[in-house]
């Protein structure tokens, strides 16, 4: 099963429980709106496109129980509150609500389920296109590196990319966003190597991105979050490519906390900083990054580290002294001026109001 979200032979919606990775591949059954809400809140599913799809199915499951207007509104509001920063969740919920609004209550659940399926199919096609668009940019960098290696009389060196958090296939329905171009280049035989930020506090890079890349056989090295700046200074990073959870109308980008620091380091060292984002993450209603709500998550994610002991058993270990105050903002905002380009399914554009208007208008033609 290549998709991250699928319906089994029994008709039950299933996904991968990402809190079990990389130590165990465990399937999670989503039978009710409660299951979907819990999976999103507890990050059993994560990544803006995937939580949007799960939210859409969650609304359909809620309508199987109560399809009244009030129940529709309450379920949508509940699911939207599960993860407030990623705009895809509300976007997907709004799509389902619009699809069923004029329908008789008895038809709503089936229509909502169908719309959730459409959202998933579109996500797969969208991410495949992002992979192709991004591969064009990265292929040019790889060719440039190969030419320079040839001039120096050396063998072609791998294209070295740095990524933060997890924007691979398990953050979407399939393919991924930031990792999609990397998978495509690797399949073409282009030498590529990925520096994988660990991405504290939940270690989505060390646990999830590294697991994905290993599955595909892509050469990679896990690094501490604060090592990226040094690697860029040493000339060991050809480009940074990340995903995102929301793009404001002026081109500011919200992504996993720590992304802003990578963008600053990239800017200081002349390293391209690319953001791979479906058009659905563009939020024209949010004027700038300061207007994006930043989710504050549990202090326990910072005070404790989850992992496997040498005997294979799982454990959560405290790493912060008792009584120390803890803050845990889950995202930060990278200003548009630090973004070299946005990679969307409709093409590559600059991170600016004009660039976003152009890419949005391309979809209405």
Residues taking part in catalysis? 245
Please state the φ and ψ torsions of residue 32, each to the nearest 5 degrees. -140, 170
Judge contact between 48 and 31, C-beta under 8 A: no
Q: b/e string for 6-29 if b means 16 or more Cβ within 10 A?
A: beeeeeebbbbbbbebbeeeeebe
SS3 21: coil
CB atoms within 10 A of CB 345: 24
Give the separation between CA 315 and CA 128, rounded to whole angstroms. Answer: 37
Structure token pair of residue 279: 């058009």
In sequence order, what DSSP letters do the residues of 41-86 get, joined into one string? HTTSS-SHHHHHHHHHHHHHHHHHH--SHHHHHHHHHHHHTTSSS-
Residue 296 φ/ψ, nearest 5 degrees = -105, 120
Residues 103 and 79: beta-carbon distance below 8 Å = no
Q: What is the maximum alpha-carbon separation in the chain?
A: 71
- Please report which residue ranges of the chain form alpha helices under DSSP H: 33-41, 48-65, 69-80, 87-100, 105-151, 180-188, 204, 210-216, 228-233, 259-268, 300-303, 353-362
Beta carbons of 53 and 39 less than 8 angstroms apart: no
Q: Copy the structure tokens of residue 216.
A: 């595909």
């Amino acid at each position: 099963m290549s998709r991250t979200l699928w319906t089994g032979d029994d008709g039950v919606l299933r996904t991968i429980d990402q809190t079990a990775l990389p130590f165990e591949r465990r399937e999670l059954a989503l039978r009710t709106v409660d299951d979907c809400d819990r999976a999103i809140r507890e990050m059993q599913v994560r990544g803006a496109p995937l939580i949007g799809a799960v939210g859409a199915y969650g609304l359909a499951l809620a309508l199987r129980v109560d399809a009244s207007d009030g129940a529709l509104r309450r379920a949508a509001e509940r699911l939207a509150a599960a993860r407030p920063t990623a705009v895809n969740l509300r976007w997907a919920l709004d799509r389902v609500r619009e699809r069923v609004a004029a329908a008789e209550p008895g038809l709503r659940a089936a229509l909502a389920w169908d719309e959730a399926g459409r959202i998933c199919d579109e996500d797969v096609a969208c991410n495949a296109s992002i992979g192709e668009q991004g591969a064009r940019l990265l292929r040019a960098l790889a060719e440039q590196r190969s030419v320079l290696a040839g001039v120096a009389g050396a063998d072609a060196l791998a294209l070295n990319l740095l990524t933060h958090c997890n924007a691979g296939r398990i953050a979407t329905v399939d393919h991924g966003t930031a990792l999609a171009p990397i998978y495509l280049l690797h399949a073409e035989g282009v030498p590529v190597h990925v520096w994988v930020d660990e991405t504290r506090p939940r270690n989505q890079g060390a646990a999830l991105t590294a697991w994905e890349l290993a599955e595909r056989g892509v050469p990679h090295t896990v690094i501490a979050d604060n090592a990226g700046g040094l690697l860029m200074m040493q000339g060991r990073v050809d480009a940074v490519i990340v995903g995102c959870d929301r793009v404001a109308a002026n081109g500011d980008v919200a992504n996993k906390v720590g992304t802003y620091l990578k963008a600053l380091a990239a800017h200081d060292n002349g390293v391209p900083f690319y953001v791979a984002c479906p058009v659905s993450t563009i939020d024209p209603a949010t004027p700038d990054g300061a207007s994006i709500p930043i989710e504050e998550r549990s202090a326990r994610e910072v005070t404790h580290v989850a992992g496997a002991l040498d005997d294979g058993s799982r454990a959560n270990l405290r790493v912060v002294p008792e009584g120390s105050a803890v803050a845990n903002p889950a995202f930060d905002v990278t200003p548009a001026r630090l973004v070299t380009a946005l990679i969307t399914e409709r093409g590559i554009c600059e991170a600016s109001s004009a660039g976003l208007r152009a890419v949005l208008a391309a979809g209405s033609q």
